[in-house]
Amino acid sequence: MGSLRGSSSIFNVDSPQQDINVPPHVVQSLHYLSLAFRPREDDKIDFRRSFTPQFISSRGNEYFCEIDEEYLTDRFNLTGLNTEVQYYQYALDLITDVFDLDADDELREQIEKSARHLYGLVHARYIVTTRGLAKMLDKYKKGDFGKCPRVLCDQHPLLPMGQSDLANQKTVKLYCAKCEDIYNPKSSRHASIDGAYFGTSFHNILFQVYPALVPEKSIRRYEPRIYGFKVHACAALARWQDAQREEMKARLHAVNMDPGFIEDSEDENDEFDDDDEVDDKLEPAKGTLAAGGTNSARMDVGI
Ligand SMILES: [Zn+2]
């Protein structure tokens, strides 16, 4: 009986009879691979139904918004795309729901692939229009693109972005406006989307059009410590950076420019509860730049 139970799960690492010890990251990779290669029958487009709702609702396409029909049917918006996409006219007919061709399965598959690609390329153009930006903003507010994995960003929502405007160069990445860094999507389905379907400018245009959404710059950062004492080189660098920031803020204040750091609080998005604490911590750092940091070591419980 015991041996039966032992063989029922090869990933049960707690089992004393277990010979195969699979590290968690390998299990995760296998999981992603199985997702990427499994038959995606449920995601196939039904040619008799409307293309866009099916495309938007299929798994892995959560980053896309629905392109307005008027936008899709205005040829001006599609200028130049006919050379980028195979079976362009059929693909466009499929997207605009006027597809009427008695094609075999293989050709249908090709046309469907082309339609997905065409939708992505038009999507990159659409999301920088007023309507497109508003739609993507809704998704951003709902956190449809995920949250920043950086602990100190407090789950700030992410935006999809491309590192190239040309197709088939780089996959989509996620941008966090709080730490101003980019991340790989967590899911393999998202990680395989072409970055050109979002483009290199969309995320920056969004903040130009909606400046109130620009989050306050975070000055919190992780401090490496050993048994509560700051690691010397990192602490010295952090103090130097803090001093530089203070200097820059003073310069910006002198010319009446808003440095955008946390003190100038606007009630947008995430707020830190411990703003004051952060400020207190930074005060002594200014004076200790040359002192080597002997007075900055503090014992923190639980680190
Ligand atoms: Zn972040």
Question: For the domain that residue 46 is a member of, what is the CATH number?
Answer: 1.10.1820.10
Domain co-membership, 47 together with 34: no
**Where does the pLDDT of residue 302 fall: very low under 50, low under 70, confident under 90, or very high at 90 and above?**
very low
pLDDT tens, position by position, 10-33: 444 444 444 556 677 666 555 544
Give the Å distance between the CA of 158 and the centre of ligand 1: 8
Contact 280, 220 (CB under 8 A): no
pLDDT tens, position by position, 222-251: 888 899 988 888 888 888 988 998 899 899
What would the mean pLDDT of 90-110 be, rounded to a whole number?
89
Residue 92 lies in a domain: yes
Q: What is the pLDDT of residue 288?
A: 37
Distance from C-alpha of 242 to C-alpha of 234, rounded to nearest angstrom: 12
Give the Å distance between the CA of 147 and the centre of ligand 1: 8
Domain co-membership, 158 together with 113: no
Give the Å distance between the CA of 153 and the centre of ligand 1: 5
Give the Å distance between the CA of 239 and the centre of ligand 1: 22
Number of domains into which the chain is organized: 4
Domain co-membership, 63 together with 137: no
Q: How far is CA 114 from CA 58, 96, 110, in A?
A: 16, 13, 6
Residue 297 lies in a domain: no
Residue 143 domain boundaries: 132-213
Residue 170 lies in a domain: yes
Residue 298 lies in a domain: no
Q: What is the pLDDT of residue 17?
A: 47
Give the Å distance between the CA of 3 and the centre of ligand 1: 47
Residue 194 lies in a domain: yes
Give the Å distance between the CA of 126 and the centre of ligand 1: 26
Give the Å distance between the CA of 9 and the centre of ligand 1: 38
Q: What's 184's domain CATH number? A: 2.20.25.20
Closest to 86 measured CA to CA, from 55, 61, 47, 112: 112
Average pLDDT over the chain reads 79
Closest to 95 measured CA to CA, from 44, 54, 136: 54
Domain co-membership, 48 together with 96: yes
pTM over cut 0.75: no
Give the Å distance between the CA of 136 and the centre of ligand 1: 19
Give the Å distance between the CA of 155 and the centre of ligand 1: 8
